[in-house]
Each structure stands twice: as C-alpha cells, then as structure tokens.
Amino acid sequence: MKTIHVELGDRAYPIVIGEHAMHDTAHLKRAIQGSTVLIVTNDMVGPLYAQQLVETLKAIGKTVHVHMLPTGEQYKNLETLNTIFDVLLQQQCDRRTTLIALGGGVVGDMAGFAAAAYMRGVPFIQVPTTLLSQVDSSVGGKTGINHPLGKNMIGAFYQPQLVLTDLNVFATLPQRELSAGMAEVIKHGAIYDAAYFEWLEANTPKLMRKDSESLVHAIVRSCEIKSEVVAQDEREGGLRAILNFGHTFGHAIEAGMGYGEWLHGEAVGAGMILAADLSQRLGMLTANEVERIRRVVQAAGLPVEPPQLGIDNMINMMKLDKKSDAGYIKFVLLDGIGRAVIRDVPEDVLRATLHVCA
C-alpha cells in the first residue's frame, strides 16, 4: 500500500493506493465516525464491487445501504442526484452518515455533491474505479452535476475524508476507458514533470497491459502532481488552470462531435497534440518535443488526429468554452516539456494549428 497526503490544512486527507485498498479497515475505521454508511454506485460497477465493500464495512460494525444510479453521463443530473437524497431521507440518515462513492468520475461527482449538500455536509469517501477518476476527478474536490445548458455547471468544492484506490478494479476496466485515463496521466507529465513524462514514454506499453507496479507509480505521481497544483490554488484563481492543457481543444472536439461520441480523454489526447503544435508555432517547443508528445499519446491508444470539424467551427466552439475571455482565447501551452504557461494566442497562429481540422 502507498499513501499520499493531500495537504489542504484542516481538510487534508490521505489517498491510499494498492491491491485490496477498498478493504483497508484501518483507514476506513479512522475515516468513518458514525455508524451508518451509504454506498453510491451505478448499475455497472455496483454488481461487480459493491458486495465486497458492504462486507468490509459490516465487518467493522457499520450499517450499510447501497444506492445504484443508472450508468452514464446522461444521468449526471439533478433528477438522479435527488434519488440520493430520497434514500438518505427514507433511511433517516443523520449528519454523521458517511457517503462512499464507488465508481468512475460520474458517480464520484454526484455522490460528492450529494455529500456536500445533504444536511449542509456529511463525511465523504471516494473509491474511484476508473483510471481517470483515480488520477483526476477524485483529487481536488470538485463535485457536481450537468445542466441541460452546460456541463458541470452546478456543484461545490468539497474534499473527501479518504480516497481508496484499489488496483483490483482494473480487472474489469475496459481498455478504452484505460486509454481515456491515460490522457490525464500524460497531461500531468507534460505540464509539470519532464522526468515523469520520460518515464511515461518508456512505460506506457506496460501501463496499457495493466502492469500493477507501473500503474501504482503512475497513479501516485499523477495524484501528487494534481494535489500539489490544487494545494497551491484550490479554487482555480490561477495555477490550477494549467490542468486544462489540451482541454480547450478537447472540449471543442467533444462538443463538435456530440457528447459521448468521443470520450473526454480521447478528445484531450488529440487536444494535447494541437496544443503542442501551437506551442511549437510560438517558439516554445521543438519539432522533436511535439513528436514525443504525439508518440506517447499514440502509445496510450488515443487518437492523434482531431476530427475534421472545420476551422471556424472549432474556433467558435472554443470561444463558447468557459475558459475563454472577451473574444481572444487563452491557451495552456508548453514552454518545454514539463513547464506549462498560459498565453493569449493570436488568431492567425491558432488557424495555422487548426488547418488539420479543415
């Protein structure tokens, strides 16, 4: 077992990573004060892993309820959220009840928001079951749901008491979801740590084979990087924005293709290559560095070419993205691998990068 301490003052908490981490009774006992627990999962992950977690919690004397949400991003909405409150109230759960999210980012974001809001805040634990949720959505405290007019528009910052990252969940994780998580892993190296990026260049094939030792290293280093960035800027005043590397392009691809067509990580994979190309045009990356980024994205089984959505269409969608300001578009770019900077980009240079979308 490896433990990372996320340093957020009185809201600091541990991330425990290892085989059987979800059965770590010592950490569970310490984190759960009350006697009642509600596990929130979905109807895909629940049948695979909920029973094991229930038994572990019962073994430490807890009363356990399980609530299964329908599976899919389309259910990350107010109506589904409300079913969590229904169960909490029907079971007469008090403010000492702990909510445990068992699932990917969709379940984590919804259960986290429910925990933030129920009785103005009850304890919360994450058991993330996708690589993306282990390295990204379970770190940093963003929780929330979608609104018909915008993704992730309703939510709260709310930190968990504990994150348990159990390596056994990789046994059932589809390869496509593994690749999608790799986009965020590669991003962490690219924006923050050149040595980690080099390690990923050498070890991505092992990660794609779900080699345990390599997965632990990648999850640990990615969580460290994300939590370091978040600890310096919890509410995204500045630095935290570097975590959006590849995302301005990625969000345009996701929206342009219709949500659900490309996975978020797939869009970010192609988006990072566009952002690298843009960095090269502005004299901050060499052709060789851009090629290195392309190769590692490709090795992770992610698309390296954006879809042909058209230059004007891409620009219009990027201007709609919440990270754009007054007409010009801010981009997270790389000034060498391992160093992210935020710049306003002239439209003619942006158009040159987007010629591949024409």
Q: Does the footprint of ligand NAD cover residue 105 (CB under 6 A)?
A: yes
Q: Active site residue: 177, 224, 244, 292, which one?
A: 244
DSSP 8-state symbol, 328: B
**Taking a C-beta distance cutoff of 8 angstroms, is the pair 131, 182 a contact?**
yes
Say whether 264 is catalytic.
yes
Q: Residue 230, interface with ligand NAD (CB under 6 A)?
A: no
Tokens for 48, please give them. Answer: 């695979």
Q: CA-CA distance, 275 to 350, in Å (whole number)?
A: 9
Q: Which two tokens stand for residue 164?
A: 């348990």
Please count the residues of this chain forming the interface with ligand NAD, following the rule CB under 6 A: 26
What does the DSSP 8-state code read for residue 141? -
In this structure, is the dihedral angle defined by the CA atoms of residues 305, 307, 309 and 313, taken in order, positive or negative? Answer: negative
Q: Which is nearer to ligand NAD, 107 or 274 (CB)?
A: 107
Contacts of 232 (CB under 8 A, 6+ apart): 239, 240
CA distances from 106 to 28, 127, 134, 242, 295 (A): 22, 12, 12, 22, 29
Nearer to ligand NAD, 166 or 289 (CB): 166
The residue assigned the tokens 């092992």 is 206
Q: Determine whether the annotation assigns residue 264 to a binding site.
A: yes
Q: 176 catalytic, yes or no?
A: no
Min CB(57)–ligand NAD separation in Å: 19
Catalytic-residue membership of 292:
no
Q: Measured from the CB of residue 185, what is the shortest distance to ligand NAD in angstroms?
A: 12
Please list every residue from 118 through 177 that binds ligand NAD, using CB under 6 A.
Answer: 129-130, 132-133, 136-137, 140, 142, 152, 169, 172-173, 177
Fill in the per-residue mask, 18 to 47: x = in contact with ligand NAD (CB under 6 A), - = not in contact. ------------------------x-xx--
Residue 268 gets which letter from DSSP?
H
Q: What is the token pair recorded at 261?
A: 């067509």
Query: Is 217 labeled as catalytic in the residue annotation?
Result: no
Contact residues for ligand NAD (CB under 6 A)?
Answer: 42, 44-45, 71, 73, 76, 103-107, 109, 129-130, 132-133, 136-137, 140, 142, 152, 169, 172-173, 177, 180
